[in-house]
Amino acid sequence: MVATTRPIPSKPALMLEGTRKYLIVTDMHIGFEAELAQKKIFVGRNTILQELLDEMHDIIKSQKPDEVILLGDIKSSISRISNNEWDEVPKFLKELSNMADVSIIPGNHDGNIQQLIPENINLISSAGMIIENTLLTHGHTLPSENFAEVDKIIIGHVHPVFFDENSILNGQQIWISLKTKKENLFPSKSGQLEIIIVPSFNRYFYATKKTQYRKSISPIIEKIRSSVSAKLVTLDGTIIGDESLLPQVL
Q: What is the pLDDT of residue 205?
A: 64
DSSP 102: E
Q: How confident is the model at residue 12 (pLDDT cuts 50, 70, 90)?
A: very high
Bridge partners for 248 per DSSP = none
**Cα–Cα distance between 113 and 85 in angstroms, integer?**
10
Q: Confirm if 235 and 173 have CB atoms less than 8 A apart.
A: yes
Q: What is the pLDDT of residue 167?
A: 84
- For the cut 70, the answer to whether the pLDDT of residue 36 exceeds it is no
The percentage of the chain sitting over the pLDDT mark of 70, rounded to a whole number, equals 90
Q: What is the pLDDT of residue 214?
A: 60
When mean pLDDT is compared across 44-48, 152-156, 201-205, 233-237, the lowest value belongs to: 44-48
When mean pLDDT is compared across 39-53, 92-106, 167-181, the lowest value belongs to: 39-53
Prediction pTM value:
0.92
- Mean pLDDT calculated for residue range 22-48: 73
- For the cut 90, the answer to whether the pLDDT of residue 210 exceeds it is no
Task: Give the CA distances from residue 21 to residues 101, 190, 199, 242, in Å, rounded to whole numbers and listed in that order.
Answer: 11, 28, 19, 29
Q: Which residue has the higher pLDDT, 191 or 34?
A: 191
When mean pLDDT is compared across 20-24, 59-63, 82-86, 117-121, the lowest value belongs to: 82-86
β pairing state of 4-7 and 14-17: antiparallel
**Cα–Cα distance between 250 and 244 in angstroms, integer?**
11
- For the cut 60, the answer to whether the pLDDT of residue 64 exceeds it is yes
Q: pLDDT averaged over the chain?
A: 89
Q: What stretches of the chain adopt beta strand conformation (E)?
A: 4-7, 14-17, 21-25, 67-70, 101-104, 122-123, 129-131, 134-136, 152-155, 174-181, 192-197, 229-234, 239-242
What class has domain 4-248?
Answer: alpha beta
Domain boundaries, the chain: 4-248
DSSP, residue by residue, 141-160: SPPPGGGTT-SEEEE-SS--
**Cα–Cα distance between 213 and 94 in angstroms, integer?**
31
pLDDT in tens, 105-134: 999 988 899 999 999 999 999 999 999 999
**Cα–Cα distance between 231 and 243 in angstroms, integer?**
7
SS3 218: coil
